[in-house]
Amino acid sequence: MALSYLLGLGGTVDYEMEWDAELLTRRLLSEGITQIPASAPHEIVDERDLLQAIVFHLSTGSGGEYFVRDDLVIERFVANAAYRVTLGGTGVRAARALDAWGMRSTVHLVSENRYFEQLLPTRVESVSSATQPSVDPHLIIQFAAQDTVTVGDVRLIASRANRIIFTADEPNRMLRLVPDLPEQVAAHDVFLISGLNSIRQRTVLDGRVAELRDACMPDMARPSAARTLVIAEHAAYHVRGFSRVALEQVSVLCDVYGLNEDELSELVGRPVDVRDPGDVIPALHECVEIVAARHVLVHTHAWAAVVGPQAGRYATALRRANITAAARYRWGDEATRDSFEQVGRLPRNEEGSRIAGAIERAFPGAQADPGYVVETRTPTTIGLGDCFVGGFLAGLEESHVPTRP
């Protein structure tokens, strides 16, 4: 019997902007930006802040996500640039990944507009808390390794591919949930929690966490064979102080709590070299101590791992997750079931294999899986973690996780 998936908590309309070194260089000159900033801005007030963030992340090869005070900043920034409109949000991209695996799902949305009507796959249904249509675009800028921009007298070259997200999205900042969320959760086999990172008010965050607790806790008291599996995916919080609050309060509701490599570093309070077992193993031990979920899922560009009492049950889910993310990196939105099969025949990341072995030795019963070696001149860095989650969900059915009567 096919599993039923409820994927929340919000979806977005994304403007995916093409990297244009000449355009960005001209804009840097017009704003008088001639030096590489030593740190990233906390939030985006104007186009100058936005450009500073782009330069900082290109210089470090890192990704990031930012709150923009006014969506007009985004509209002005893309006015003379090439971009395409896509759908985003972890739940929505996970649903698209499930669709590529041939599986149905339901997404929980907080906004509605013509783009959702046009671009959601036919196998994806939706429930929504929106009371009127709205379009609140997210600007996403991705760069590939070796992409360049000139800053003053310096020609800056990206060391690795990554993406930067800029958002001024009121519906996702409020993240209103459907009134019948407890009934929706109970009616599905798997419930995905994501999107809390967009919230900027503590009262709103506390309210949403309380609603999630009401929706998930009664179900957690049911026999394990009958209850809904709860999975959460962490993210870059726009208000940094909310990250730990949300993690501690939400992870206790979860069977699996996922983080990427940047979020792992933030959690332990120091940079973690995911290619060095001497860095990775202590960081994972700290992560397991902090995260209250039964299982911790950490995914990086080189490997992914599940640590917890029944981690072995997630072996297929972990492998499908890595396959799906790799296919996303190579083919973007065009990834299909055939793409997944092609990735499955590719060699594994050697460093990832070494780290995976070290993790499984350090954590008895842990399940670790190295990433795939994917060569492309035009990588997609947008939504890799979201599609990883979708692939992970796609592997639950084959692993018989969860099993309902």
Query: pTM here?
Result: 0.91
Q: Three-class SS of residue 257?
A: strand
- Angstrom distance (rounded) from CA 193 to CA 179: 16
pLDDT at 218: 66
pLDDT at 347: 97
pLDDT at 224: 47
Rounded alpha-carbon distances, angstroms, from residue 187 to 2, 181, 182, 400: 13, 10, 9, 18
**Quick check: 300 and 283 in contact, CB under 8 A?**
no
Residue at 98: amino acid letter = L
Rounded alpha-carbon distances, angstroms, from residue 61 to 58, 158, 161, 169: 5, 6, 7, 26
Residues of the chain with pLDDT under 70: 1, 218-226, 403-405
pLDDT at 219: 58
pLDDT at 401: 80
Domains of the chain and CATH, by start: 5-13+91-131+175-394 (3.40.1190.20), 15-86+134-170 (3.30.1110.20)
Angle at 266 between CA 261 and CA 268, to 5 degrees: 95
pLDDT, tens only, 39-64: 999 889 999 999 999 999 999 999 99
DSSP string, 149-201: EEETTEEEE-SS-EEEEEE--HHHHHTPPPTTHHHHHHTSSEEEE--GGG---
Strands laid side by side in the 5-7 sheet: 124-128, 105-109, 5-7, 190-193, 229-233, 256-260, 295-299, 303-307, 367-370
pLDDT at 377: 87
Report the phi/psi class of residue 332: left, alpha or beta, with left for phi > 0 and alpha for psi in -120 to 50: left
- Angstrom distance (rounded) from CA 368 to CA 306: 6
